[in-house]
Chains A and B, each alone.
Chain A
Amino acid sequence: GAGVSQSPSNKVTEKGKDVELRCDPISGHTALYWYRQSLGQGLEFLIYFQGNSAPDKSGLPSDRFSAERTGGSVSTLTIQRTQQEDSAVYLCASSSYQVGKDGYTFGSGTRLTVV
């Protein structure tokens, strides 16, 4: 597609439920990043995928968070047993370079609300 696509755009879930967020990067972009933005905060880096390589998961906030990228393209971010502090906008970005020298292209994000 022309841009980075994220779905759903909005998600309201009950505390304790699992949620899955999806990101379709720009075709051909090998680098994919997940960030989250909590209210009044800057963007917090979560995880980075380069092609099919195994990601460094150390940036994930807890072991309830996991992410995968299938076939070097689509990525899903899964949050298990959601908590209220998980409420945030989750942003995905892709890039044609490992280093974001041209800046990434961000999707519009998924707004997650845990009630």
Chain B
Amino acid sequence: DQQVKQNSPSLSVQEGRISILNCDYTNSMFDYFLWYKKYPAEGPTFLISISSIKDKNEDGRFTVFLNKSAKHLSLHIVPSQPGDSAVYFCAAEAGGGADGLTFGKGTHLIIQP
């Protein structure tokens, strides 16, 4: 039973346009959400996070939106750059962190020139 779902295995976006990556979750106990970016043969790197008490968090070109009632979050990247091509993982945490993060399967973002 997948508690964190990323329904798009891949996404292709033109350079300079907006990339929108989506994530849905089922566990209402999740109170913190994170996005990680992963290049081949490297470990995931932290990108941006959001607490469940907020609905938006912005960091430079990256913005995460959280819709608690819909149990949905999205990552917006604008403008998209070639270096953004990577696999993006959505992750969620339920209070305390001792149970680790629950990850989605990832979305492979391809930025086309």
Interface residues of A (CB under 8 A from B): 4, 31, 33, 35, 40-46, 48, 50, 56, 59, 91, 93, 95, 97-109
Nearest CB of chain A from residue B16's CB, rounded to whole Å: 27
Within 8 A of A (CB), among B86-107: 89, 91, 93, 96-106
Give the size category of B's interface with A.
20 to 34
Instruction: Look across to chain A and name the residue whose beta carbon is closest to the beta carbon of B51.
Output: A101
Residues of B within 8 A of A50 (CB): 98
Interface secondary structure of A, over-half rule: loop
B34→A103 contact, CB < 8 A: yes
Return chain B residues, CB-CB under 8 Å to A100.
32, 34, 93, 97, 101
Contacts from B to A (Cβ < 8 Å)? 4, 6, 32, 34, 36, 41-47, 49, 89, 91, 93, 96-106
Known: A50-B98, A56-B99. 17 other contacts (CB 8 A): A4-B43, A35-B103, A40-B105, A42-B106, A45-B102, A48-B97, A48-B99, A56-B98, A91-B43, A97-B97, A98-B98, A99-B96, A99-B97, A100-B101, A103-B47, A106-B45, A108-B41
Tell me if B42 and A99 are in contact (CB < 8 A).
Answer: no
- A45 pairs with B45, CB closer than 8 A: no
| In the complex, chain A residues whose CB is within 8 Å of the CB of B99 | 45, 48, 56, 59
Shortest Cβ distance from B93 into A: residue: A100
Complex Cα distance, B103 from A46, in Å, reads 12
- Contact among A33, A45, A99, A105 with B32 in the assembled complex (CB-CB below 8 Å): A99
* Complex: A101 Cα to B48 Cα, angstroms: 10
Q: Quick check: A107 and B98 within 8 Å, CB to CB?
A: no
Q: Which residues of A have CB within 8 Å of B46?
A: 102-105
Q: What is the chain A residue whose CB lies nearest that of B9?
A: A40
Chain B CB within 10 Å — which of A45, A50, A100, A101 has the most? A100
A105 to B47, alpha carbons, bound, how many Å?
11
Tell me if A93 and B97 are in contact (CB < 8 A): no
B43/A101 in contact, CB under 8 A: no
